[in-house]
A and B are shown apart, each in its own frame.
Chain A
Amino acid sequence: MKINRRELLGYSAAALGVAAIGLPKIAKAAAGELTIAYNVNLPSWDPTTGPSAVNPTIQGLYQSVFDQIISQKPDLSFAPGLLTEWGWNDDRTKVTMTVREGVKWHDGSPFTPEDVVWSLQRAGDEKTGNPIQFVWKNVNNFKIDGNKITGDVVQFDPVYFKWMSFLTGYILPKAYYEKVGAEGFEKAPIGTGPYMVEKFERNAFLRLKANPNYWGGKPAFENVTIKFVTDAASRVAEIESGSSQVTLEIPYEEYDRLIAKDGLAGSIKNVSDIGMIFFNNKDAMLDKNVRQAAVMAVDKELLVKRLLRGYGQPIDTLETPEYAAYDPSIKVEHNPEKAKKLLAASGYSTKKPAKFTIQTTKGFKPKDYEMVQAIVGMWRKVGIEAEIEVYEIAKHYELRAAHKLAPAAFYNWGNSIGDPTTSTGFAMFGPSPHSSWKTDDLDAKIGPLWGEKDEAKRIAGWKAVDKYIAEEAYVLPLIQYAQPIVHSKKVNVVQHISGALLPALMTPA
């Protein structure tokens, strides 16, 4: 058996941990002080441009300093924030927004509707390099009247406001940014968020100080230190030694071991990240029987139970229970016998199997490779022989954008606004560079939903699409991931379903 470095590190840390006979120093949250071992670095302070703007894991750091245009609660529901009201006019040709009054930037200057308009215009300006510019350009010609803003709809996008709680949906300080420039902003960023940046050493740590004037109330911890600890074994050591009081994204085995220790506790919830297998409309996958058999042969409950130690939730569509278009009536049965019959109808059997390649990452998501290994084993029993090809995630992006993925390819998909456009929509709509399955029948069903103005009809439409996809077996949804957080018993942690770890949601126990 070959063991790669990542596995070796994991096994070594686990073995060393088990061998540890002394009890670890109990993690203590000193009065007003909180230290978090975070799993990613923060490359840039501009939450609206560059790759970090579309990295979901970093959003928790941004949201500590900047407010999103519309707030989102831990259960993914939307709530008044810097905008207290928002909406469309009846014929969806105008948007209206009401700006919260009395809010201050971290430098003490007043937050104004001009900041909102400037941020929206900047986000929609292609010269700034905002990767989500295609959303923000859909509304322009903003007008300010007191604390009310109106804008003209260029092209109706039903999720325009939902994106205000998602990637690049942040308000930045117009006057300050114009004064200090992009470089100055990187050195000393200010927002209206619950925490102010006190000190930042790139790739090392971030010191935050509670914003006493925060409109949502001063956060419980006065000082927060976020250490960027990208190695999972090191994060385990950080929490075990008491050097940090909170950490996240560690192996489930380590989670179980650590929360059994004195002084430590854990929180693990299903978040908006899912594991799935893209099917590509080529080779054996063009045969509906093969696709349906490939889906029916997989025992997702077993994957969760055996590989993910019971953490996570099997799913049958690309929607999770927290999403707007989740339909619990759509079920895909696990039925290996029926899978065999379907394959037999197409001339395949265990002796003459349907053959194709399945691509997967290894170590990018918890047990990704192991899950694919198990699935290939389940497929083999019904008459599908899949050859595993391991690639790096960068390669997956490149192949998917070029529509060159193998007939089957493992991936994880995040959708923290819970809208069907950002789950089923972009993953399955042929013209999207993110989709793998590209056929006219599906595109004809999805196409009209992009501009549907009746919200109830729109959601019902997406549910119907999900049902059709499940029947046709155009994709293999696997599981909704659970995010493990280990923390000192001296700290209460509220998990956000988006997966963002927010110090503002933590309080002393």
Chain B
Amino acid sequence: MLLQRFLIRLLTMLITLFGVAVVVFVVIRVAPGDPIAMMLPPGATDDDIARLRALYGLDKTIVQQFFIWLSGVVRGDFGTSISLRQDVLGLVFNRLPATLELAIVALIMAVTLGGTTAILGARERGTAVEAGIDIASGAALSIPDFLWGLVLILLFGVLVPIFDISGRVSPQLDLPFVTQFYFFESLMRLRFDLTWDLLKHMLMPAVALALPLAAIISQLLKQSLKEVLDLDYVVLARVKGFSETQVILREALKNASLPTLTLVGVQFTFLIGGTVIVERLFSYEGLGNMAIDAVINRDLPLIQGIVLVFALLFVLINLAVDMMYALLNPRLRHG
């Protein structure tokens, strides 16, 4: 039964990815713009155009191009980037860790900030503290991440320049890393000098990404907590003499966090999508920044590769959320 569910889930994932691949392939080929026309220098002739088209395989029909590309993807060959002239998969996996690190740090910040303010708001419900939290989360939610980025750049990049405005790490540093997960690797190696440098670059983009998500988490979790706090078993805990904080943390939080967990999963996929603009703003060396370059350069193989990897990430995150949800909710586990 479990195996059957797993296989169905796997099949659904593959169909989703295939659908994404087809849509992306068709859309970017019918969209305006031609990579060969963009690369034509003054004096190029029709022969030169034909030669370049053949070189990049663009002289074939869309259907032929799709199946050539798909057969390559199945074999792990995503093609060669037109603008970077390197293996697409290698490029994507080189950049993905930077984006994942940024998104994970932003998620941790969002959950910590959102969770803390939700608990505080629920504990202090009906008071000025709750009202203050509501106002702050409303403001955080109404300002988009890239605008938070600009505000942070002005505050901590220009006025009080304690963080770095651009890049992922200081160019002057020697980087001993063997993986592309610089931040996590620096922690594992106890190289806190590098960790601090990486944080100086990562904090502003991570906060810009985290603030709107923290606000959503805060609002939803607080609402759930408030509902759970009125239930009988929580009232019983109070009668037993637990403090309000103990009641929330020990009794209410686990049940109240289920809807928030689902939301966090969905929002995490948006968070990864949000890295595209924020990485650009901070010149952060991630997959999102590379995606924009790929679009500007009409680098078809690279766009396809990046979108497919993003789609795979989304599918895997959704799967992980489902599994965690089942883990936390026994009724689903046994259903």
Interface residues of A (CB under 8 A from B): 5, 8-9, 12-13, 16-17, 20, 22, 24-25, 37, 41, 43-44, 46, 49-52, 54, 126, 129, 131-135, 167, 182-183, 186, 199, 201-207, 225, 227-231, 233-234, 237-238, 240-243, 391-395, 397-398, 400-401, 415, 421-422, 425-427, 431-434
Contacts and interface: CB of A to CB of B under 8 A. Distances in A.
A450 B60 CA distance: 34
B85 A394 contact: no
A415 to B, nearest CB: 8
B225 interface: no
Contacts of A231: 280-281, 283
Nearest to A135: B43
A203 B290 contact: yes
Contacts of B282: 234
Given A134-B45, A227-B171, A401 B40 contact: yes
Interface string B83-120: 11110000000110000000000000000000000000
A10 to B, nearest CB: 10
A386 B45 CA distance: 32
A217 B61 CA distance: 53
Nearest to B165: A237
A50 B83 contact: yes
A131 B38 contact: no
B59 interface: no
A397 B297 contact: no
B151 A16 contact: yes
Interface of B: 32-35, 37-49, 51-52, 55, 82-86, 94-95, 146-147, 150-151, 153-154, 157-159, 161, 164-169, 171-172, 280-283, 285, 289-290, 292-293, 297-298
A231 B280 CA distance: 7
A237 B35 contact: no
A131 B52 contact: yes
Nearest to B292: A230
Contact of B285 (A202, A206, A432): A202
A129 B55 contact: yes
A497 B202 CA distance: 37
B297 A225 contact: no
Contacts of A9: 146, 150, 281
A252 B21 CA distance: 42
A206 B169 CA distance: 12
Given A41-B293, A398-B33, 7 more contacts: A129-B55, A228-B283, A234-B153, A237-B157, A397-B33, A397-B40, A433-B37
A508 B42 CA distance: 37
Contact of B167 (A50, A205, A242, A434): A205
Contacts of B147: 8, 12
A13 B150 contact: yes
Contacts of B47: 134
4 tightest Cβ-Cβ pairs between the two chains A and B = A394-B33, A395-B32, A397-B37, A426-B42
Given A9-B150, A395-B32, A50 B283 contact: no
10 contacts: A9-B281, A202-B84, A204-B171, A204-B283, A243-B157, A391-B32, A394-B37, A398-B37, A415-B42, A433-B44
Nearest to B201: A204
Contacts of B52: 129, 131
Nearest to A397: B37
Nearest to B150: A12
Contacts of A234: 153, 165-166, 281-283
Contacts of B40: 54, 131, 397, 401, 433-434
